[in-house]
Amino acid sequence: MTVEEKDRAAAIFKPETGRIVAARMLTETEKFFRVVLDHGGPLGHKPGQFVEVSIFGIGEAPISICSSPTQEDSFEMCVRNVGSVTNAMHQMGAGAEIGLRGPYGNGFDMEAMKGRDVLFVAGGLGMAPARGVIKYVLDKRHDFNIVTILYGAKNPSELLFKEDLEEWQARPDCDFHVTVDRPDDSWKGNTGVITTLFRNISNIDARNAWAVVVGPPVMYKYVILEALSIGIPESRILCSLERRMKCGVGKCGHCQISNVYVCKEGPVFTYSQIKRLREGI
C-alpha cells in the first residue's frame, strides 16, 4: 500500500481536493467540469466509475465520470443541476476547489470487450457515463471491432457534448445515430424514441457483440428488449444503474438492491444479473 492508499483506507469519509480547470454550460441544466487533482496524479478510474463530489457545508453527491482514463492529466464530469450539491457546483467556475472521494464502483470491463463489436445506447444524461466508455473505445480503436453509437434526447437543446457528437458523426470508423423525441424547427435528424434507432444498426455480429446501455430508469426495459431481439446475449448487455449513494463504499445501505450494493458491485451490471435483482430496473 502506498501512503496515499493508506490515508484513504484510514478514513473512508476523507475527501481529497481537486481544482476545476474548465467549466462551461452544455445545456440549460447541465454543466461540464474538468478537474485536476491537487496531488497531481491521475484519478485512476475505469470507464463507468463515479466519484463522490464534496462541497463542504452542503454535502456530497455521486457524479459519474464522463472522461476516459486515456486522458490522464484531468478528468471530467457532466453535472445536472438537481440538488443542493449540484446547484453549488453550478455556481463554480475554473479555479474553484472541490472535495472528491473515489473513484468508486466497478466500471465497465473493457478487457472483456476487446476485439468485439460494441453497441452504445445512451439516453438523456446517460450520455455522461457513456461518453467515458465511448472515448476510451475510440482512443483504443484498434482494440475493438465495429463501434455503433445510438443517442437519444428529449429535444435538440438537451443534447450533450455537441462537439463530440460532430466528431463521432464524421469518423468513418464509428457508426453514430442520434434522435430526439420532440424536434424543433431547426432539427433535421431522426425523430422518435431511442429504440427507433435500432433499425439503423448494420453488420454487427450480435452474438458476439457487447451492448452498453445507459439512461434514465424508464429507458432500460425498452432498450434491453431491442438488444435481446437483435440477438445480443443477456450476459453481454451492460447497464449502469442510478441509486442513492451516501457512502460509495458499501456501508450506508441506500443503494442496496437484493444482496448487492450498487456503489460497489455496480453501478454496471449485465442484464443477466439485473433480472435476478428484480428491483434493478
Q: How far is the CB of 170 from other proteins (least distance, A)?
A: 33
Is 44 a binding residue for other proteins by CB under 8 A? The answer is no
Interaction with other proteins in 159-218: which residues (CB under 8 A)?
217
- In the list 9, 40, 111, 184, the residue contacting other proteins (rule: CB under 8 A) is 9
At 120, the amino acid letter reads F
Is 94 a binding residue for other proteins by CB under 8 A? The answer is no
Q: Residues 267, 106: contact at Cβ < 8 Å?
A: yes
Q: How far is the CB of 152 from other proteins (least distance, A)?
A: 18
Residue with cell 445510438: 150
Q: How far is the CB of 260 from other proteins (least distance, A)?
A: 8
Is 86 a binding residue for other proteins by CB under 8 A? The answer is yes
Is 11 a binding residue for other proteins by CB under 8 A? The answer is yes
Q: How far is the CB of 72 from other proteins (least distance, A)?
A: 24
- In the list 8, 116, 154, 171, the residue contacting other proteins (rule: CB under 8 A) is 8
Q: How far is the CB of 56 from other proteins (least distance, A)?
A: 4
Is 59 a binding residue for other proteins by CB under 8 A? The answer is yes
Give rounded-to-5 percent helix, strand, coil for the chain: 30, 30, 40
Nearest Cα residue to 16 out of 37, 36, 33: 37
- Which residues, at least 6 apart from 10, have a Cβ–Cβ distance to it below 8 Å? none
Is 84 a binding residue for other proteins by CB under 8 A? The answer is yes
Residue 247 and residue 58: Cα distance in Å, rounded?
Answer: 15
Using the rule CB under 8 A, give the single segment among 20-28, 80-88, 107-115, 190-198 that binds other proteins: 80-88
Please work out the total of residues on this chain that contact other proteins, with binding judged by CB under 8 A. Answer: 48
* Number of Cβ within a 10 Å radius of residue 95: 9
- Kindly report the backbone phi and psi dihedral angles of residue 31, in degrees, each rounded to the nearest multiple of 5, phi listed first: -120, 145
Question: 172-202 burial string, b = 16+ CB within 10 Å, else e?
Answer: eebbbbbbbbeeeeeeeebeeebbbbbeebe
- Entry field: residues in the chain: 281
Q: How far is the CB of 96 from other proteins (least distance, A)?
A: 8
| Interaction site with other proteins (CB under 8 A) | 8-15, 17, 54-61, 80, 82-88, 91, 96-99, 217, 242-244, 246-247, 249-254, 256, 258-260, 278-279
